[in-house]
């Protein structure tokens, strides 16, 4: 079973870590999940889930 992408992103943010949009197009969005210090990329989310796209909106990262 695949985890809900929005839930994954929210848990990542709630833990104080950073996310960045790596790419987006009309069909999907790819988000990099980075360590709390913004260093190394730990994981990625690629999804077409409308809830995830709505949450991220036009932001390029969790630091926006």
If one counts the domains in the chain, the total is: 1
H/E stretch holding 63: none
Q: Per the domain annotation, does 64 fall within a domain?
A: no
Q: Per the domain annotation, does 34 fall within a domain?
A: yes
Q: Per the domain annotation, does 63 fall within a domain?
A: no
Specify the pLDDT at position 3: 84
H/E stretch holding 25: none
Q: Could you give the angle at the alpha carbon of 46 between the alpha carbons of 64 and 7, nearest 5°?
A: 70
Specify the pLDDT at position 38: 81
Specify the pLDDT at position 26: 92
At residue 21, does pLDDT exceed 60?
A: yes
> 22 is in which domain, residue-wise?
5-56
Predicted structure pTM score: 0.90
Summarised one tens digit per residue, pLDDT across range 24-50 is: 999 999 999 999 888 899 999 999 999
Q: What is the mean pLDDT of residues 7-25?
A: 96
Q: Per the domain annotation, does 43 fall within a domain?
A: yes
Mean pLDDT for the chain overall: 93
3-state secondary structure of 62: coil
Q: Could you give the angle at the alpha carbon of 15 between the alpha carbons of 14 and 16, nearest 5°?
A: 90
- Closest by Cα among 9, 3, 2, 4 to 56: 9
């Amino acid at each position: 079973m695949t985890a809900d992408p929005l839930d994954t992103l929210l848990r990542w943010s709630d833990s104080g870590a950073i996310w960045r949009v790596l790419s987006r197009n009309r069909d999907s969005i790819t988000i990099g999940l980075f360590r709390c210090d913004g260093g190394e990329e730990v994981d990625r989310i690629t999804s077409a889930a409308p809830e995830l796209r709505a949450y991220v909106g036009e932001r390029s990262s969790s630091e926006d």
